[in-house]
Amino acid sequence: MKHKHFLVSDSSALPSSIVAAQRFFKTYKNSTKSGRYHEASKIAGELTELIESNIDTTAEDMRLFGIKLLENKVFLESILIFDAASTMSEKIENSQKKLEMIQFCVAGMRDTNKAMIADDSNMKVVVKDHVIPLMRDKLHRMKSTSAVSEQYKCLQMSWVLHYIEWSQCLVDQWKEREQTLREGVERLNEVFRQNKVKHWVYGLLFNNLGIVCEGTSRYEEAASFFKQAVDVYQAATDYYDREDRKQHIERSEINLRRVQQKIE
């Protein structure tokens, strides 16, 4: 009988029915730390095939397992599991749920990037050369998803672009971060047009564009982006928490006052 439950230890936690995954964890970790990223991707594919042979294990099971690994500070293994979960999600029949699951998996990668670099700054190279390209690959796969509205697809992809630009910030890829942010803004402009302000991710992209511009001494441009971020936060209709809206507005207003002082 196959089981989908996970046994989480303080180190290399494993799906209880996939004992062989232990060797995948070890080789994946060695490959990524040695810069053999093509080999690491191959290992991820092999692990995914193994997991998919266990019919009771779902993409959501694996995503939750990745979170447990992250909580236990088993970082590279967490990236591997989020990658596998994202690949597994492509077989979800409901296209909206498929896009959501990929977005959640990339969010897990973003969170792992932050924790991994905080634990060891030398891991920046792995994030830059391996994890961010993985996140980009997930974005490409989302783009090819059919049987879903362009608006819904754009919204989920915009969140993934936010996770990517945030990760690029962690590894000091300022030029690449700006390109990613502008890509997100352009997508939302094109697909949602006047309705783009209903989504607070649009404000996040503007706020972070302001930060990039401020960091490169483009203060007038930064001020414009911070103002637009405040406008979006005030107009957005998809906030779940009123306090989140308040905090986002306050943050962008503080950023705006700071760059206005630099302009003066």
The stretches of 72-119 forming alpha helices (DSSP H) are 75-89, 95-119
What is the predicted pLDDT for the residue at 55? 66
What residue numbers bound the domain in which 246 lies? 196-264
Question: pLDDT per residue over 126-147, tens digit each?
Answer: 999 999 999 999 999 999 999 9
CB 230 within 8 A of CB 215: no
User: Is 179 within the bounds of a domain?
Assistant: no
User: Is 183 within the bounds of a domain?
Assistant: no
Task: Report the alpha-carbon distance of residue 117 to residue 127 in Å, rounded.
Answer: 8
Are residues 110 and 37 both part of a single domain?
yes
First to last CA, the chain: 71
Name 1's Cβ contacts closer than 8 Å, sequence gap at least 6. none
User: Is 216 within the bounds of a domain?
Assistant: yes
Are residues 246 and 143 both part of a single domain?
no
Are residues 160 and 213 both part of a single domain?
no
Residues of the chain under the 70 pLDDT cut:
1-21, 55
Task: Report the alpha-carbon distance of residue 5 to residue 74 in Å, rounded.
Answer: 19
Are residues 211 and 142 both part of a single domain?
no
User: Is 181 within the bounds of a domain?
Assistant: no
Domain count within the chain: 2
Task: Report the alpha-carbon distance of residue 22 to residue 34 in Å, rounded.
Answer: 19
Number of other CB atoms surrounding residue 23 within 10 Å: 11
Element (H, E) at 41: helix 37-52
Boundary (domain end) residue, out of 108, 140, 172: 172
Are residues 163 and 217 both part of a single domain?
no
Are residues 120 and 216 both part of a single domain?
no
What is the predicted pLDDT for the residue at 113? 98
Q: What is the pTM of this model?
A: 0.92
Q: How far is CA 183 from the centre of its chain?
A: 15
Phi-psi map region of 220: left, alpha, beta (phi>0 left; psi -120 to 50 alpha): alpha
Are residues 44 and 156 both part of a single domain?
yes
Are residues 137 and 259 both part of a single domain?
no
User: Is 187 within the bounds of a domain?
Assistant: no
Are residues 204 and 134 both part of a single domain?
no
Are residues 133 and 202 both part of a single domain?
no
What is the predicted pLDDT for the residue at 6? 39
What is the predicted pLDDT for the residue at 53? 79
User: Is 124 within the bounds of a domain?
Assistant: yes
**Residue ranges of E strands in the chain:** 6-7, 14-15
What is the predicted pLDDT for the residue at 22? 74
Are residues 12 and 72 both part of a single domain?
yes
What is the predicted pLDDT for the residue at 23? 78
Q: What is the CATH number of the domain that holds 254?
A: 1.20.58
User: Is 212 within the bounds of a domain?
Assistant: yes
CB 198 within 8 A of CB 155: no
User: Is 151 within the bounds of a domain?
Assistant: yes
Are residues 165 and 45 both part of a single domain?
yes
Name 120's Cβ contacts closer than 8 Å, sequence gap at least 6. none
